[in-house]
Structure 1
Amino acid sequence: MSTLKGINNESTSRYVAEYPTLAPELPGQNLPWLQQLRKAGLSKFSATGFPTPREEEWRYTNVSAIEKKLFAPVLDFVSTQPNLQAIDPSWLKAHQLDESWSVVLVNGHFSSELSVLDNLPDGVKVMSMAAALMALPDWLQPYLGQAVQSDEHGFVAFNSAWFTDGVFIHVPTKQVLAKPIQILNIVTKADVLATTRNVVVVDCSTETTLIETFVATTDDAYLSTSVTEVFAGENATLTHYKLQAESEKAFHFGGTYVKQAQHARFTHHNFAFGGLLARCDVHTDLDQASECELNGLYLGVKRQHLDNHTRINHLKPHGISREMYKGVMDDRARGVFQGRVIVAEDAQKTDSQMNNRNLLLSNDAEVDTKPQLEIYADDVKCGHGVTVGQLDEKSIFYLQSRCVDEETARNMLTFAFANEMVDKIKIKTLHDQVLEQVLIRFPQEGIQKAWL
């Protein structure tokens, strides 16, 4: 433990020592309230550093590998514009969804050249965080840093202090968006620190679909941290997809923190495929009669470590939550699921169900799962279920009895297990992207893509 503590302190000191050089280049220097937010994040990070397994909610994830290298943000983004030419148009087209508005962030900075934001409906705002802090600071002040506090843990504190850009989205009352909004995060260089902050405000009686995609043109190591704060107004409907397909040597932290007003509906689909070490937080607070659905699929191969942490706070009566996460681990990969549902004393008539299902394809693969229910009300309906196991030999035998060889039978059952979550995607182009990621990660002999 003492060795880990020493590494953490050394890494923290190096980042903190570099901060005065970085700070003048960060957006929002003229906003006292933002400087206070950054100062709080810096203070928290200086005191605690990145999370360690000594913290209960990080007990299964050791991030000390991140601390062996000082990742550096891109400060002068204008001078790096030629790097955009290195992004192959066909590669970009494969990741930029058709029939959507697309905001592209390259190495932590907004790219107007690559983004597609034409013909937004009247009143809908989609812009870079840096631009919003210049043009609309009064709009942002009530929201930035309000869905999650810097003291949540070290990565949130780090993000609050270090973020270089991000996206601000506002959908006004009763607006129903005909197309999704995609935030496409791209890293193009080794050893880059890409730190972004997003604020999404969807007002009363709106319908919005948001997609966050994390990819890279490099196969090298880098650190990607992104925090998205969501505020869903009364009777709003927000569907949020996240596809994390980072470089296999990358480190990733992504957090989505949601405040739901009365009768608001929030659905989140999390697909965690990439990164050497990756963590995803999804936390939401439910008001009276609001609903949330959290779905997730995490696929680990080689020595990947994929950590998923969810927290559903039922604060008022008549809330409904549903959660289903599935994991498939092969080789020496390790998966983590920590799901926590908290039912407050005032949250009577809460209806909550949580399920986590895991499939191990190798004797060396591992899954740690920890579902938690904290119930302080007496008139509720709550439950959870967890399984960790290997393929059912009876199902394999059944397929073999139908003239399917054993290897193909195993592949078919593995794919069917994962594909249940992929089939929940309602956007065809995104469905095809995610399906492609599933197929390239596991041997699929005997499965023809044309069938799917």
Structure 2
Amino acid sequence: MATESTSRYVAEYEAIVPILPGQNLPWLQQLRKDALEKFSANGFPSPREEEWRYTNVSAIEKKWFAPVLDSVSKPNLQALDANWLKSQRLEDAWSVVLVNGHYSAEYSRLDGLPEGVLIVSMADALEKQPQMVEKYLGQAVNNQEHSFVAFNTAWFTDGILVHVPAKQILAKPIQLLNIVTEADVMATTRNLVIIAESAEAQVIETFVGLGIARDGVYAASLPGTGAANAYLTAAVTEVFVEQNAQLTLYKMQTESEKAYHFGGIYVKQAKDARFSHHNFALGGLLARCDIHADLDQASECTLNGLYLGVKRQHLDNHTRINHLKPRAISREMYKGVLDDRARGVFQGRVIVAEDAQKTDSQMNNRNLLLSDDAEADTKPQLEIYADDVKCGHGVTVGQLDEKSIFYLQSRSVDEETARNMLTFAFANEMVDKIKIRSLHDKVLEQVLVRFPQEGVEKEWL
């Protein structure tokens, strides 16, 4: 339902639209117009919608977040601490930096890309590769999915187009580093990732917020620093993995502790395509991540995730795997660790179409509650319309196993340390699935910084 906040966004849109990229493309203008009409009619998602029943975004509606215009989108080089920026870039990776929703050429590092690999800003792609963008934009997800997708389609200011040509195997991963430096802004980006036939690639999406500027220099925003900015990230990535191609996509979300985050990853897999996603939701006051995948014949999909919530964080993970053709395989494992008054949500849905015989699908969600006030809402769903399938799911919500604690105590470990060790081991299982060493170390570092319990030691590894 449209609200006063919705009306303000729609009213302000007329002043913003001339600055958005792709003004010379009638098809894009129609796509944006349709998205605006969808958002105007429905407003932001509501808990009355089944797939948003556990997540209330009314706090976003109460605030006004303004898009950052390109002319002022990039802080000057002195405002971003060089050492901090270096620490956010992953070693041995191509680094693509977006600041406040806009591509930053001066901060990005793309030297040595193989011939034929295309990594450009969405603004440039709409100008120089409009036919490619038109072919893919809106094909993995459309405005009818929900209002945040429509919102992104109408408002996106930039983004990245990644195209890996057929049979190209990238030796290094591609990092899409999203940085927000300002308060009360929205960073609205739209990405396209296209992995052509028999190609292989690794892509890493990282989202980070900087704290309030002091003495002209931005400080890293970490829990408890008191330097957090409130802002909105609304990022949609459409992914196309062609026949016999392979993509591993990582997401590390460590937004400001006052930030709001919506991130959607929508995937179309061709025959024999392989797609893996590793999702680490650690930051933000309210954060939602959608991961939807459509599987073709004999394709494979793996979804792993860890959400770590403290204080009053609300972390929502929504997955949907559509088995459309026979003999596809999907595996899903999500874990949550929740303390204080944090709330974690997992809604996992597997749909097996009538034609998708020989489907093999497993889904698991495990939640560890460290406080009586923490809450985990989990809703696994299997919708099976074929008769020759192997599908299952498992869910747990609870506290640490007292027998395991007693076992460690019998080995001269005090009770508090035993609890810390077991909690850390529970979370670290998901971190250990990361195959890129620099990313593994960065995620582990963030987990240790944000871990709800004191006394957790890296030396336990």
TM bucket by the smaller chain? over 0.9
In structure 1, distance between residues paired with 2:231 and 2:149? 18
In structure 2, distance between residues paired with 1:164 and 1:79? 13
In structure 1, distance between residues paired with 2:201 and 2:191? 15
In structure 1, distance between residues paired with 2:444 and 2:74? 32
The one-letter code matched in structure 2 to 1:114 is: Y
Q: In structure 2, which of residues 35, 38, 56 is the aligned counterpart of residue 41 of structure 1?
A: 35
Q: CA deviation at 1:419?
A: 0.4
CA contact (8 A) 2:97 2:176 kept: yes
Deviates more, 1:235-244 or 1:86-95: 86-95
The one-letter code matched in structure 1 to 2:139 is: Q
Deviates more, 1:352-361 or 1:393-402: 393-402
Is 1:393 equivalent to 2:406 in the alignment?
no
Q: In structure 1, which of residues 157, 164, 174 is the aligned counterpart of residue 167 of structure 2?
A: 174
Residues 417 and 160 of structure 1: CA distance in aligned 2, closer, same or farther (over 3 Å): same
Q: CA deviation at 1:444?
A: 5.5
CA contact (8 A) 1:408 1:445 kept: no
Is 1:201 equivalent to 2:190 in the alignment?
no
Mapping of 1:339-378 within 5 angstroms?
339-378=348-387
1:307-331 deviation digits (Å, cap 9, x = unpaired): 0000000000000000000000000
Residues 183 and 199 of structure 1: CA distance in aligned 2, closer, same or farther (over 3 Å): same
Q: CA deviation at 1:451?
A: 4.4
User: Which residue is 1:109 aligned to?
Assistant: 102
SS, match of residue 114 in structure 1: strand
Q: In structure 2, which of residues 273, 285, 303 is the aligned counterpart of residue 294 of structure 1?
A: 303
Unaligned ranges ≥5, structure 1: none
The one-letter code matched in structure 1 to 2:13 is: Y
In structure 1, distance between residues paired with 2:122 and 2:242? 21
User: Which residue is 2:418 aligned to?
Assistant: 409
In structure 2, distance between residues paired with 1:192 and 1:224? 9
Q: CA deviation at 1:261?
A: 0.2
TM-score, normalised relative to structure 1: 0.97
CA contact (8 A) 2:280 2:305 kept: yes
In structure 2, distance between residues paired with 1:17 and 1:84? 34
Q: In structure 2, which of residues 116, 124, 130 is the aligned counterpart of residue 131 of structure 1?
A: 124
Is 1:98 equivalent to 2:107 in the alignment?
no
Q: In structure 2, which of residues 269, 273, 279 is the aligned counterpart of residue 264 of structure 1?
A: 273
The one-letter code matched in structure 1 to 2:87 is: A
The one-letter code matched in structure 1 to 2:117 is: V
Q: CA deviation at 1:437?
A: 1.1
1:62-84 deviation digits (Å, cap 9, x = unpaired): 00000111100111x23444444
User: Which residue is 1:253 aligned to?
Assistant: 262
Q: CA deviation at 1:119?
A: 1.2
In structure 2, distance between residues paired with 1:360 and 1:353? 24
Is 1:18 equivalent to 2:27 in the alignment?
no
The one-letter code matched in structure 2 to 1:103 is: V
Is 1:337 equivalent to 2:346 in the alignment?
yes
In structure 1, distance between residues paired with 2:412 and 2:450? 26
In structure 1, distance between residues paired with 2:207 and 2:103? 14
User: Which residue is 2:47 aligned to?
Assistant: 53
User: Which residue is 1:235 aligned to?
Assistant: 244
Q: In structure 1, which of residues 210, 219, 224 is the aligned counterpart of residue 203 of structure 2?
A: 210
1:374-408 deviation digits (Å, cap 9, x = unpaired): 00000000000000000111111111111111111
In structure 1, distance between residues paired with 2:98 and 2:75? 15
User: Which residue is 2:253 aligned to?
Assistant: 244
User: Which residue is 1:305 aligned to?
Assistant: 314
The one-letter code matched in structure 1 to 2:270 is: A
CA contact (8 A) 1:412 1:446 kept: no
In structure 1, distance between residues paired with 2:81 and 2:454? 30
SS, match of residue 67 in structure 2: coil
CA contact (8 A) 1:101 1:181 kept: yes
CA contact (8 A) 1:411 1:443 kept: no
In structure 2, distance between residues paired with 1:261 and 1:313? 13
CA contact (8 A) 1:234 1:261 kept: yes
Q: In structure 2, which of residues 114, 118, 135 is the aligned counterpart of residue 121 of structure 1?
A: 114
Is 1:73 equivalent to 2:70 in the alignment?
no
Q: CA deviation at 1:40?
A: 1.1
In structure 2, distance between residues paired with 1:47 and 1:424? 42
Residues 262 and 394 of structure 1: CA distance in aligned 2, closer, same or farther (over 3 Å): same
Residues 80 and 322 of structure 1: CA distance in aligned 2, closer, same or farther (over 3 Å): closer
In structure 1, distance between residues paired with 2:450 and 2:370? 12
SS, match of residue 330 in structure 2: strand
Residues 168 and 148 of structure 1: CA distance in aligned 2, closer, same or farther (over 3 Å): same
In structure 2, distance between residues paired with 1:45 and 1:20? 14
User: Which residue is 2:325 aligned to?
Assistant: 316
User: Which residue is 1:438 aligned to?
Assistant: 447
CA contact (8 A) 1:412 1:444 kept: no
The one-letter code matched in structure 2 to 1:108 is: G
CA contact (8 A) 1:303 1:334 kept: yes
CA contact (8 A) 2:166 2:197 kept: yes
CA contact (8 A) 2:239 2:266 kept: yes
The one-letter code matched in structure 2 to 1:130 is: A
Q: In structure 1, which of residues 426, 442, 448 is the aligned counterpart of residue 435 of structure 2?
A: 426
Query: Percent of aligned positions with the same letter in both sequences?
Result: 76
SS, match of residue 327 in structure 2: coil
Deviates more, 1:290-299 or 1:433-442: 433-442
Is 1:153 equivalent to 2:146 in the alignment?
yes
